[in-house]
Amino acid sequence: MNDTSNNPRPSNFIRQIIDADLASGKNGSRVATRFPPEPNGYLHIGHAKSIVLNFGIAQDYHGTCNLRFDDTNPAKEDIEYVESIKQDVQWLGFKWTHLYYASDYFDKLYDFALQLIKLGKAYVCDLSFEQMREYRGTLTQPGKDSPYRNRSVAENLGLFDRMRKGEFPDGSRVLRAKIDMASPNINLRDPTIYRIKKDAEHHQTGSKWCIYPMYDYAHCLSDMLEGITHSLCTLEFEDHRPLYDWVLDVLKAPCHPQQIEFSRLNLEYTVMSKRKLTELVQKKLVDGWNDPRMPTIAGLRRRGFTPESIRDFCLRIGVTKADNIVEMSLLEDCIRNDLNERAIRRMAVLHPLKVLITNYPYDKVERLTAANHPQKAEFGNREIAFCAEIFIDRNDFMESPPKGFKRLIPGGEVRLRYGYVIRCDEVIKDAGGTVQELHCSYDAATLGTNPVGRKVAGVIHWVSARHAIRAKLRLYDRLFIVPNPDVQGSRENKDYTAYLNPDSLHINSVAVLEPALANAKPQDRFQFEREGYFCLDEQSPDGAPLVFNRTVTLRDTWAKSDK
């Protein structure tokens, strides 16, 4: 197969850091990473970049990689997301060393908070949300100390204990790290590390806790507790690194993971923020998280993408700190490249036009042999029925063709793929002038061999009208009509949904397919010759009409030309 995951992974600046650490004997020559999603949505291809990075490094350096759910905010999380994330990581082809939840550490995290208080490095603050914002200052002005900043250790201990016991309402008090209200880095202006959430039912810990740690506090300690050596995250956390280090330093942590930031993936014609993807789902602008138009792993899977192609994509885009927006053509190349190698070929006519072969015995049926893959004999052959009535695609016939048109024209010849050469003798039209049917004649001497004395340039696909099966085809196009809905939206002061592509899904219910497709199984992938790669929808129920999703079209240099 065409699995690039077996190829050496390209290096990047993070691997260079690890190489240097290994060379200097840091971390006892151990490499431990983790992939830490919050279960508040489905994974998308941006997460795949992080997954391939983290798990790939663990594989290549003979290290470990944990899957850890960063589940510190029960209000936004759900067990459905936990399950989908596990499934998606596995589907991508990775095995975690350990499965953890940040909530596994809630007891330890609480004890560390007690330590912080005893060290005089944390205090309970009674400021309201609004007051807190005022006291924080602005980007250019320093903040000012909270009036509660200098409470005694005993008072802080007592208050924090009562917070834990549920004696105070949500929002009334928080535990804050005591760092520096005048820091030019806003994240260091006494950040909140614990807040009260009394009525949230946590998907893992139930109602055991009514206070929950904040990301900045929980993440570094979780990394530490797992003995992570390299904590890889995206660029927006760069400003948080001093806080990450502060917590571990103050607590004199026995292990201090190194946080390294890389830029997140942006893909043209889609959005990648979980907030926006959630909105698309909730407002039913798409048909759920696994809608094949979504950049989610579940969506790409349903669209027909292979795990190999997504891994390949993640390797090809690289890992840097530069802002980027990757063209869709790269992702398309990855899936075409993989499917070209492994997809069985079939014929499907999307816009059927009836053709009567007038000189072929009307009642005769012939079985022709067609290769399942033109370059791979080991894929075997299948038989296709041929008779006097067939369907070809309307797009393969033109009465007044542009220059260079190689398909069927009145009086012209074309090769039927894996069949005979036919000539169009007569065009039958209805009263409105629409072509209804073509009357053609076939050349019996052209099966498997070229006619002598003349060249037939075109080859078109077809199916027997008497044997064809019907199916529903879902033809997908880009979700948005502009390359960068986020940027365009803020520039034009519009919501990104204003750029949704109204034609991102086209349903074709008239397509006719060769009968061999009847026993396709959900997720089976095919190349419909000259059309594209399709996969049987995972939700096609047994017995119901087949539904195929178009993964991607074939490259089409003819359609691209000006003609």
Partner RNA sequence: UGGGGUGUCGCCAAGCGGUAAGGCACUGGAUUUUGAUUCCAGCAUACCUAGGUUCGAAUCCUAGCACCCCAGCCA
Q: Minimum distance from CB of 364 to RNA (Å)?
A: 18
Between 256 and 407, whose beta carbon lies closer to RNA?
A: 407
Between 379 and 522, whose beta carbon lies closer to RNA?
A: 379
Counting runs of H as helices and runs of E as strands, what totals does the chain give?
Answer: 14, 26
Q: Minimum distance from CB of 344 to RNA (Å)?
A: 10
Q: Minimum distance from CB of 539 to RNA (Å)?
A: 27
Determine the Cα–Cα distance for residues 368 and 552; give it in Å rounded to an integer.
28
Q: Are 538 and 523 in contact (CB under 8 A)?
A: yes
Q: Minimum distance from CB of 453 to RNA (Å)?
A: 16
Closest CA to 474 of 505, 453, 446: 505
Between 273 and 359, whose beta carbon lies closer to RNA?
A: 273
What residues pair up with 456 in beta bridges, in sequence order?
Answer: none
Between 291 and 311, whose beta carbon lies closer to RNA?
A: 311
Closest CA to 551 of 306, 326, 194, 195: 306
Between 73 and 540, whose beta carbon lies closer to RNA?
A: 73
Tokens of 290: 């696994």
Between 130 and 363, whose beta carbon lies closer to RNA?
A: 130
Closest CA to 535 of 344, 310, 337, 526: 526
Any idea which residues carry the catalytic annotation? 38, 264, 274
Q: What Rg do the C-alpha atoms of the chain give, in angstroms?
A: 31
Q: Minimum distance from CB of 292 to RNA (Å)?
A: 21
Q: Are 531 and 553 in contact (CB under 8 A)?
A: yes
Q: Is 313 left (phi over 0), alpha (psi -120 to 50) or beta?
A: alpha
DSSP three-state, residue 467: coil
Determine the Cα–Cα distance for residues 353 and 399; give it in Å rounded to an integer.
14
The DSSP string of 40-54 is SS--BHHHHHHHHHH
Between 251 and 371, whose beta carbon lies closer to RNA?
A: 371
Q: Minimum distance from CB of 162 to RNA (Å)?
A: 15
Q: What is the largest CA-CA distance in the chain?
A: 102
Q: Minimum distance from CB of 148 to RNA (Å)?
A: 11
* DSSP class of 120: T
Between 499 and 505, whose beta carbon lies closer to RNA?
A: 499
Q: Minimum distance from CB of 226 to RNA (Å)?
A: 15
State the number of CA atoms in the 13 A half-sphere of 436 facing the CB. Answer: 6
Closest CA to 123 of 72, 82, 179, 73: 179
User: Which residues, including other chains, have CB under 8 Å from residue 493's CB and lie 6 or more apart?
Assistant: none
The one-letter code for the residue type at 140 is T
Between 23 and 139, whose beta carbon lies closer to RNA?
A: 139
Determine the Cα–Cα distance for residues 495 and 238; give it in Å rounded to an integer.
28
Q: Are 190 and 182 in contact (CB under 8 A)?
A: no
Q: Are 480 and 501 in contact (CB under 8 A)?
A: yes
CA 152 to chain centre: 50
In this structure, the strands spanning 211-213 and 122-125 are unpaired
**Distances in whole angstroms, Cα of residue 526 to Cα of each of 117, 157, 170, 247, 548:** 62, 65, 55, 53, 10
Between 363 and 562, whose beta carbon lies closer to RNA?
A: 562
Q: Minimum distance from CB of 431 to RNA (Å)?
A: 29
Determine the Cα–Cα distance for residues 274 and 485; give it in Å rounded to an integer.
14
Q: Minimum distance from CB of 541 to RNA (Å)?
A: 29
Q: What is the H or E stretch that residue 168 is in?
A: none
